[in-house]
Structure 1
Amino acid sequence: MDLPPSTPLIPVSSSNVANQKASARQEIIWLLKNAIPLVISYLLQNSLQSVSVISAGHLGASELAAASLASMFVTVTGLSMVMGTTLCLDTLCSQAYTSSHCDKKVVGLHVQRCLVFLTILFLPIMALWWFAHDIFLLLRQEQQVALLAGRFVQWMIPALPAFALFESLKKMLQAQGLFRAPTYVLFVGAPFNVVASYVLVWHTPLGFIGAPIAASLTYWLLVLLLVVYIVYVGGSEVWPTRKWHASSSMGGVLDFYAYGPILKLAIPGILLICSENWAYEIIALAAGWIDGDATTSQGAQSVLVTSVAMFYTIPFGVGISAANRVGNALGAQRPKQAALAAKTALVAACLVALVNASVIFFCRHQWAYLFTDDEQVVALVSKVIPIVAVFIFGDNVAGIADGVLNGQGRQHVGAWFNLAAYYLSSLPLGFFLCFSRGWGLQGIWFGLMISLLAVAVATVMVVLRSDWNLETINAKNRSSQETKDL
């Protein structure tokens, strides 16, 4: 269960060996226990997009292609931008909540400022979504597919602010140790989405556009339920109710100069999330250029990317849990506790990564049958999986290590590593091996594997060499920028 408000998120550290071992056990238990609701939330939240594609896709081949194209476009150009931006709250909220140098209502103030920044960011995104039909035509999509996909994206516009509100409020609760609240909300929202999508698509004149309308309604339901939880169950004590203007004693929500810390963390966060998503889309296009049976290569690539996403669910939960644990410890000015939490997260990263890589490797000959009955796709997938298994190991370790860096407020490290790995290493090397050396899909994934292993090693080394005393000072300085008198 979630920690009650009276329970300290960061226990008092102990000096003797026995207590240190006990603390290490407590850290691993805390980390994994709180990662479980995050994993469930991640799975349920991802199902919202999948249900929309499935519901609309059963109307016909054009509808399936359009829904898939629109879902990809919405994720890459909008939802990933929101997720990257809200990574700043992993740092700011978790450190502020346990800091003795600022009022806990600063946590809510950070959320309010993040939402203001996202509102400004929405303007170009919504314009892009409104003209999505024209963009799809420029990308030489079939006219009927482009028309349907454009309408799908337009009806997803109302979902964008709801998604931003849900993500931001979720981060606010996680900083307080309330990890299960979003899971409870999604246990209601996910079934609602299934029912709403089925009814609107198949039993109303809306038809195809019923799927995005159902998704938009679901996101707003999630926001409403989360607000009800915050108001009536827990988490509202960090929400400030005034100071929307700038003042001399404390920067308000609309104080321009107070957005420096937000931008410093949000922009690298966007690069960290989006650089990977964009790279996968480039690879998906490249799979269609491989000589021979392009359809088989594209099918195999779809199976592999979906599998990588599936095996990232547990590392994702552990990474978010680690970010909040490290951030809470730094905010409480406990560098040794933060270091212990970071090392525990890295140990968990290696264990989780090893299990995930082993599962897909030993099941490589049967794995693709979960997605398709096409024997050529199955054969190609089983051929590439040994490389993908090693990639998954590196990707999982790097993802959890990035969570530790997010807790420190060093999102820029992961962002630069990702940009270098995908655009200076993975894609050039992978395309060279694929097209110039004739390795095909194996070449693309070999380039990804080499680069992500290097990123994993580099990110772990950065975490292990962290100056934790300096990080606590940085956390203190972030908190001290806000007054205690809200």
Structure 2
Amino acid sequence: MDEESLKLSLIHNNSNGNPEEFDGDLPVIKGWRGLLQASGKESKKLWYLAGPAIFTSICQYSLGAITQTFAGHIGDLELAAVSIENSVIAGLSFGIMLGMGSALETLCGQAFGAKQLRMLGVYMQRSWVILLTTACLMTTIYVWSAQILKLIGQEDDIAELAGKFALWMLPQLFAYAMVFPLAKFLQAQSKVMAMAVIAGVALAFHVLFSWLLIFKWGCGLWGAALVLDLSWWIIVLAQLGYILSGTCNEAWGGFSWAAFHNLGAFVRLSLASGVMLCLEVWYLYLLILLAGYLKNPEISVDAISICMNLMGWEMMVSLGFNVAISVRVSNELGAGHPRAAKFAVLIVLVTMFMIGVILMVVIFITRNEFAVAFTSSEVVMKAVSKLATLLAFTMLLNSIQPVFGGVAVGAGWQALVAYINLASYYIFGVPLGCLLGYYFDFGVKGIWAGMISGTTLQTIILCIITYKTKWNREASQAIERIKVWGGSD
């Protein structure tokens, strides 16, 4: 389908044959003033999406972090158990569910842009079917989590308590299966402010009732698990209630048996999305695991953990813009506006590069001081200071790399990016990190440098692919993708 045919198709679909209702693509930009005006408009659209998305990510990220903090006041063993469950067991399920749910970013975003609103609700229900089935399969990991943790070298007492805590956290697993399709459904329609309000209310509930159950009523670890489960289900039920209240108009047409039709293509896209994201998430955790096999592993792991904590907060900002550019690209491609999609990518890259430079400079300036917020050990602070240069460069890289991930999801390139991630991270980055860290004895700096090289390679490849993308063709394929990957209703 050529561009003219695509426009005619969209005119028919979007405006019932009335060409006056067709908005058209991004107008030709003339001169610096035109560029500044267009950039300002696009920045407003991106920040409108990214701001609430960042706040939502921070609130949801804080749920587990606050539970860990309260667990630390119960005892050291409880803190270790919650930390292990939160990062290994819940971290695994979070990555898989978020990744598989991100298939909706492609389909719902492009369907919304193409005015195929009736399909959004069907797509969300199909995603629920797939993710709830996946959650049922993953319950075995929770049931056998103590044995799994012992198998990977965790101490018996920590593994046993973490395994018990994991069983209490099974409701959270099924909340993940519900909440990510809900989130992608709302994000595709730019209803991000409602998500931010719901996340803020859930966080306030979480803090208050964690304090009551743990400090005032002495409920211990099971109380912490109960509040964390309830907090996630508050988010699920509040978002579902918001949708059922009629705020989404044609996008929600009620529960439909069409959710069980044409699942094959949807499963393939969901699996590709899950693999793509999990390969990225596990790559970061692998850095800590590899550091644990070095000489003086305690110092290495503590130093890396402090740096990872800072990167985690930065990732909340990056994920916000990841969501924003995914929505912008998918909406514009679905609407048949290839130049608008390309311009959105350019603006978000410039924005995130500037944020990355600022963070990099801050790390360089405070390289001898920022570790004080996390530790009082002089040895650990010195080790963190030596890693500051790598951390600063990683901050810059991590501000740009998620943008390309958002573009990939918005355009529907998940399967391609999964292969790129596998090659860049695990065939190139990890072996190089092990070679530098163990064979050449550069320690944790060598492991990190090698793994950064893998991320750099992946970013360069995605940059080249994005630069060479024929956006007219992507817009044409968006309409076909809605039919082929999502199936009709």
Q: TM-score, normalised by structure 2?
A: 0.90
Shift of residue 359, structure 1, vs aligned partner: 1.9
Match among 280, 289, 296 for residue 293 of structure 2: 289
Contact 1:151 1:209 (C-alpha < 8 Å) held by counterparts = no
Identify the residue that residue 41 of structure 1 maps to in structure 2. 56
Contact 2:125 2:255 (C-alpha < 8 Å) held by counterparts = no
Q: Could you list the per-position Cα deviations for residues 435-470 of structure 1 after superposition, in whole angstroms to 9, with x for gaps in the alignment?
A: 111211111111122222222222111111111111
Whole-angstrom CA distance in 1 between matches of 2:457 and 2:149: 36
Match among 97, 112, 135 for residue 122 of structure 1: 135
Identify the residue that residue 432 of structure 1 maps to in structure 2. 435
**Which blocks of at least 5 consecutive residues in structure 2 are unaligned?**
1-20
Whole-angstrom CA distance in 1 between matches of 2:334 and 2:260: 25
Quickly say closer, same or farther: Cα 1:419–1:396, change in 2 above 3 A: farther
Specify the SS of the correspondent of 1:315. Answer: helix
Amino acid in the other structure paired with 1:267: L
Shift of residue 153, structure 1, vs aligned partner: 0.5
Identify the residue that residue 396 of structure 2 maps to in structure 1. 393
Shift of residue 348, structure 1, vs aligned partner: 2.0
Specify the SS of the correspondent of 2:360. Answer: helix
Specify the SS of the correspondent of 1:158. Answer: helix
Match among 452, 457, 462 for residue 455 of structure 2: 452
Q: Count matched residues.
A: 467
Quickly say closer, same or farther: Cα 1:157–1:9, change in 2 above 3 A: farther
Amino acid in the other structure paired with 1:113: R
Identify the residue that residue 66 of structure 1 maps to in structure 2. 81
Whole-angstrom CA distance in 1 between matches of 2:73 and 2:485: 53
Whole-angstrom CA distance in 1 between matches of 2:126 and 2:246: 24
Whole-angstrom CA distance in 2 between matches of 1:96 and 1:165: 21
Whether 2:269 is the aligned partner of 1:241: answer no
Whole-angstrom CA distance in 2 between matches of 1:429 and 1:9: 52
Shift of residue 279, structure 1, vs aligned partner: 2.5
Identify the residue that residue 365 of structure 1 maps to in structure 2. 368
Whole-angstrom CA distance in 2 between matches of 1:352 and 1:441: 27
Match among 144, 147, 152 for residue 131 of structure 1: 144
Specify the SS of the correspondent of 1:372. Answer: coil
Whether 2:238 is the aligned partner of 1:225: answer yes
Specify the SS of the correspondent of 2:192. Answer: coil
The correspondence of residues 62-461 of structure 1 with structure 2, limited to 5 A, is 62-100=77-115, 102=116, 104-204=117-217, 206-232=219-245, 234-244=247-257, 252-255=258-261, 258-291=262-295, 293-461=296-464
Whole-angstrom CA distance in 1 between matches of 2:355 and 2:375: 27
Amino acid in the other structure paired with 2:429: S
Specify the SS of the correspondent of 1:283. Answer: helix
Match among 454, 470, 480 for residue 467 of structure 1: 470
Contact 1:107 1:238 (C-alpha < 8 Å) held by counterparts = yes
RMSD between aligned alpha carbons? Answer: 2.2
Specify the SS of the correspondent of 2:102. Answer: helix
Quickly say closer, same or farther: Cα 1:132–1:242, change in 2 above 3 A: closer
Quickly say closer, same or farther: Cα 1:360–1:414, change in 2 above 3 A: farther
Whole-angstrom CA distance in 1 between matches of 2:457 and 2:94: 28
Contact 1:9 1:177 (C-alpha < 8 Å) held by counterparts = no
Whole-angstrom CA distance in 2 between matches of 1:228 and 1:243: 17
Amino acid in the other structure paired with 2:74: L
Contact 1:91 1:408 (C-alpha < 8 Å) held by counterparts = yes
Moved more, 228-237 or 315-324: 228-237
Q: Could you list the per-position Cα deviations for residues 136-168 of structure 1 after superposition, in whole angstroms to 9, with x for gaps in the alignment?
A: 233343332122101110111011121222221
Q: Could you list the per-position Cα deviations for residues 107-136 of structure 1 after superposition, in whole angstroms to 9, with x for gaps in the alignment?
A: 111111011011111122111101212222
Specify the SS of the correspondent of 1:312. Answer: helix
Specify the SS of the correspondent of 1:180. Answer: helix
Specify the SS of the correspondent of 1:141. Answer: coil
Quickly say closer, same or farther: Cα 1:10–1:420, change in 2 above 3 A: farther
Shift of residue 237, structure 1, vs aligned partner: 3.2
Contact 2:287 2:448 (C-alpha < 8 Å) held by counterparts = no
Shift of residue 88, structure 1, vs aligned partner: 0.6
Specify the SS of the correspondent of 1:352. Answer: helix
Quickly say closer, same or farther: Cα 1:243–1:286, change in 2 above 3 A: closer
Q: Could you list the per-position Cα deviations for residues 223-261 of structure 1 after superposition, in whole angstroms to 9, with x for gaps in the alignment?
A: 1221232233722531132540xxxxxxx1111xx2244
Fraction of identical pairs, as percent: 27
Specify the SS of the correspondent of 1:324. Answer: helix
Amino acid in the other structure paired with 1:270: G
Shift of residue 185, structure 1, vs aligned partner: 0.2
Quickly say closer, same or farther: Cα 1:15–1:298, change in 2 above 3 A: closer
Whole-angstrom CA distance in 2 between matches of 1:467 and 1:273: 24
Moved more, 447-456 or 227-236: 227-236
Amino acid in the other structure paired with 1:287: A
Moved more, 282-291 or 117-126: 282-291
Contact 2:404 2:462 (C-alpha < 8 Å) held by counterparts = yes
Moved more, 422-431 or 222-231: 222-231
Whole-angstrom CA distance in 2 between matches of 1:234 and 1:481: 28
Contact 2:322 2:406 (C-alpha < 8 Å) held by counterparts = yes
Q: Could you list the per-position Cα deviations for residues 408-441 of structure 1 after superposition, in whole angstroms to 9, with x for gaps in the alignment?
A: 0112233222222221122111111111112111
Whole-angstrom CA distance in 2 between matches of 1:211 and 1:239: 35
Amino acid in the other structure paired with 2:378: E
Amino acid in the other structure paired with 2:72: G
Amino acid in the other structure paired with 1:332: A
Amino acid in the other structure paired with 2:298: T
Identify the residue that residue 43 of structure 2 maps to in structure 1. 28
Amino acid in the other structure paired with 1:166: V
Q: Could you list the per-position Cα deviations for residues 330-381 of structure 1 after superposition, in whole angstroms to 9, with x for gaps in the alignment?
A: 1101111111112222222322222222222222111111211111111111
